[in-house]
Amino acid sequence: MDAIRVRGARQLKGNIRVGGAKNAALPILCATLLSDGESLLRNVPGLRDIETTADLLRTLGRDLTVDIPEVRVKQTSRPVVPEAPYELVRQMRASVLVLGPLVARYGKAKVSLPGGCQIGARPVDQHLLGLEALGAKIAVEHGFIVAEAPRLRGAEVVFDMPTVTGTENLMMAAALAKGRTTLVNCAREPEVEELGRVLNKMGARVEGAGTSIIHIQGADELEPFDHAIIADRIEAGTFMAAVGAAGGDVLLEHAPLDDLEPVIVKLRRVGMEIEREGEHARVRRLGRLVATDVATSPHPGFPTDMQAQFMALMCVASGRSVVTETVFENRFMHVPELGRMGARIEAHNNIAIVEGVPRLSGASVMATDLRASASLVIAGLVADDETIVRRVYHLDRGYEAIEKKLAGAGADVTRIKLESEEA
Ligand code: UD1
């Protein structure tokens, strides 16, 4: 099984290119179900989650040509079977994003209850309540969500909390519903805004995507589209944190600085310099980092998807930092692993208190979820000797060739094969 080996104590220097946003590409791939004809997605990252979504769309009856960074999705002569099996959905929670398009377009959807990163209960009740408000009949049977509606009708949906994929599922469903839908208390993430742009290209009328209230005028039919995906703010933020750990000076190509404002504010506060250079970002560490507190919250707050990477930085900052996770319970699975590398962290429920130490020490550690894995690679960059990060399939879900990108900027990071079953 693959692992990532990191030898620390080398500064990063050079260029790193930021790829397309995973969390934008996934709903946009699912949106292809809303129309016939051929859609073209550009700037798609080469990730396992993209492959899983491609397999899911093929299982449903679409023809996909994946030639990264491009993906073409075509209808086939086979009828669409609106059923998403457990085998695929369990690999990736975002598979639930086919639910809205399938019921809107085909009148029926049967989607296995999701799996994905084990970071808390992560229910989908808001997706289901929303679809019910649009007129779908919903049942949960034998581990599957079954939704049916001859034609969805526009309605008002008020979410109990902002949910990213919940908002996206409802936007896609409403795009083919009869009449006007208003979604209230929506997630405001840039990826939601991006989906709004695509649905508008397809012929729906979406207003307010990226704000907490979205209006959607449904269409009877939607058109295929050609779209280049926005850059991945979390990948960019992860490389910024890598520079914070290793030190150095990196030009992050195509870093979406505007989408990363809450992260950049914190990184500057702890002692990093981040400057716009045309469409790129120059990232430097000025001296030893200083501790600061951080609390995650929905966009435009500090993203939960950057919490683990930021905590890795705080492990080597001077002083004490309090890291509070408010979006997901159980998202501190990196804490014991960072502890094995010499970090001093005490975690209680959703609060971690980190006492910075000058250096970490390399160890064999286990990736437990996507962003936790990235935090261990970052910690490895500032650790003595060698760090082996196991279970890299988590990393491969959301980072395209992270070892090559870091090595291209001078880090000693390689993918190795481990013999043992325990890998
Ligand atoms: C998306 C992102 C993920 C990110 C997360 C939060 C994608 C593919 N994934 O996940 O990377 O970490 O946003 O920024 O875009 N909740 C409910 N009921 C629901 C839906 C959500 O209680 O029906 C809760 C969740 O348990 C969680 C919170 O709402 O506590 C936010 O979750 P949500 O925004 O839905 O996360 P995802 O869309 O799954």
Q: pLDDT value at position 143?
A: 86
Residue 17 to residue 92: CA distance in whole angstroms: 25
Protein residue with least CA distance to atom 22, ligand 1: 123
Nearest to residue 323, comparing CAs of 369, 368, 291, 359? 291
Q: pLDDT value at position 121?
A: 57
Q: Please report the beta strands in 51-204, taking only residues with DSSP state E, as ranges in sequence order.
A: 62-67, 70-75, 83-84, 108-112, 137-141, 144-148, 156-158, 180-184
Confidence tier at 115 by pLDDT (50, 70, 90): low
In the chain, the percentage of residues whose pLDDT exceeds 90 is 89
Q: Which residues line ligand 1 (CB under 6 A)?
A: 23, 26, 93-94, 120-127, 161, 163-166, 187, 191, 303-305, 327-328
State the sign of the Cα–Cα–Cα–Cα dihedral 188, 194, 195, 197. positive
Q: pLDDT value at position 9?
A: 84
Q: Phi and psi for 162 in degrees, rounded to 5?
A: -70, 120
Measured CA angle at 366 (ends 362, 369), to 5 deg: 125
Q: Which ligand 1 atom sits closest to the C-alpha of 329? A: 30
Instruction: Identify any residues that bridge with 112 across adjacent strands, giving them in sequence order.
Output: 144
Q: pLDDT value at position 54?
A: 97
Question: What mean pLDDT is predicted for residues 176-203?
Answer: 98
- Ligand 1 centroid – CA 231 distance (Å): 20
Ligand 1 mutation pick, 53, 117, 140, 165, max ligand atoms within 8 A of CB: 165
Which domains, from first to last, does the chain contain? 2-19+233-417 (3.65.10.10), 22-219 (3.65.10.10)
Catalytic site includes residue 117: yes
Helix (H, G, I), strand (E, B) or coil at 261: helix
**Residue pair 104/177 in contact by the 8 Å Cβ criterion:** yes
Q: pLDDT value at position 114?
A: 72
Residue 49 to residue 46: CA distance in whole angstroms: 9
Q: Of the listed 30, 117, 186, 315, which one is catalytic?
A: 117
Confidence tier at 210 by pLDDT (50, 70, 90): very high
Confidence tier at 116 by pLDDT (50, 70, 90): very low
Alpha helices in 176-251 (DSSP H): 190-202, 233-246
Instruction: Identify any residues that bridge with 340 across adjacent strands, giving them in sequence order.
Output: none
CA dihedral 192, 299, 288, 387 (to 10 degrees): -50
Residue 226 has pLDDT above 60, yes or no: yes
Q: pLDDT value at position 117?
A: 46
Residue 93 to residue 24: CA distance in whole angstroms: 14
Residue 180 has pLDDT above 60, yes or no: yes
Burial class (CB in 10 A: 0-12, 13-18, 19+), 361: middle
- Ligand 1 centroid – CA 417 distance (Å): 33
Other Cβ atoms less than 10 A from the Cβ of 209: the count is 27
pLDDT, one tens digit per residue, over 47-66 is 999 999 999 999 999 999 99
Protein residue with least CA distance to atom 11, ligand 1: 305
Q: pLDDT value at position 73?
A: 97
pLDDT, one tens digit per residue, over 29-46 is 999 999 999 999 999 999
